[in-house]
Amino acid sequence: MTQLTTIDRTLVEQIVRQVVTGQTESAADPASPGELVVSISARHCHLSDEHVETLFGAGHRLTPMRELYQDGFYAAEETVMVVGPRRRMIEKVRVLGPTRPESQVELAFTDAISLGLQVPVRHSGDLAETPGCVLVGPAGVVELERGVIRAARHVHMCFAEAERLGVQNGDLINLRIESPFCTTLLEDLLVRADATSKLEVHIDTDEGNAVYLDGATKVELVHQEKQKKPCSCTGHGK
């Protein structure tokens, strides 16, 4: 039991594992404006209100457990079991809130392989022709006909930040990560700009581990058309 508890805590921490540029002493330090936060999203799911009730009981509402970096979003106390073909399963997949119109499961490729699922790389909400799975909660079971994806790497920001960086919502930008013997350029991050989001990159556990994000000494967004010249947002001021 002790081991299971430890594993689950690790999973929770992975949901919000972050590297803030230039801050190696504590990833929990709040970033100042313009500072680049790179977060690893561990496997998780988003649920509709209807599915929350099916899985956790009539009238049930998600219980926020930990705030995420983006205002208004949280890791919930609730977890579900995700079951793939031939009854392969992953226990305790964290539910993120708030609820959404359509349920969605976001896995790293490593997770999908262990489940026996072939999942496409998709942007959140783009669920046409994606595989389904079965979700099991303490009060019931939901059979998702679609909605299992590997989330495509992306970067959130507000419109003002986008303007400062010279990009627009829907553009692609690259992320360069300097880490010991693992320095890597991740290309084609989708810019997701809106009125309120804070500057934050989302990559998954496979990507984060491959680039040794935990050991990163520098992270920076790099314009695609001029990769030699980092954009102004390097986390070292404006």
The answer to the question of residue 176 lying near Zn ion (CB under 5 A) is: no
Residue nearest to Zn ion (CB): 202
Cα gap 47→52, rounded to integer Å: 6
**From the CB of 130, what's the least distance to Zn ion, in Å?**
17
Cα gap 78→94, rounded to integer Å: 6
Residue 130's closest CA among 157, 97, 155, 152?
Answer: 152
Q: ∠ CA 222-193-170 to the nearest 5 degrees?
A: 70
Q: ∠ CA 92-94-100 to the nearest 5 degrees?
A: 135
Residue among 89 and 190 whose Cβ is closer to Zn ion: 190
Residue among 83 and 177 whose Cβ is closer to Zn ion: 177
Q: Which of 147, 202, 207, 208 binds Zn ion (CB under 5 A)?
A: 202
Give the position of tokens 């009539």. 58
Cα gap 199→34, rounded to integer Å: 7
Stretch that binds Zn ion, among 56-64, 126-134, 168-176, 202-210 (CB under 5 A): 202-210
Residue among 51 and 202 whose Cβ is closer to Zn ion: 202
Residue among 16 and 83 whose Cβ is closer to Zn ion: 16
Site for Zn ion in 17-76 (CB under 5 A): none
Residue among 169 and 217 whose Cβ is closer to Zn ion: 169
Residue 238's closest CA among 160, 168, 128?
Answer: 160
**From the CB of 125, what's the least distance to Zn ion, in Å?**
11
Stretch that binds Zn ion, among 109-117, 140-148, 176-184, 197-205 (CB under 5 A): 197-205
Residue among 111 and 200 whose Cβ is closer to Zn ion: 200
- Provide the Cα torsion 204, 28, 96, 43; round to 10°: 20
**Sign, CA torsion 74/15/31/168:** negative
Residue among 201 and 211 whose Cβ is closer to Zn ion: 201
How do the residues of the chain divide into helix, strand and coil, expressed in percent and rounded to 5? 20, 35, 45
**From the CB of 73, what's the least distance to Zn ion, in Å?**
9
**From the CB of 157, what's the least distance to Zn ion, in Å?**
11
- The residue type of 118 is Q
Distances (CA, A) of 23 to 27, 42, 95, 167, 215: 7, 22, 29, 25, 11
The site for Zn ion, by CB under 5 A, has a size of 1
Stretch that binds Zn ion, among 97-105, 183-191, 200-208, 221-229 (CB under 5 A): 200-208
**From the CB of 143, what's the least distance to Zn ion, in Å?**
26
Site residues (vs Zn ion, CB under 5 A): 202
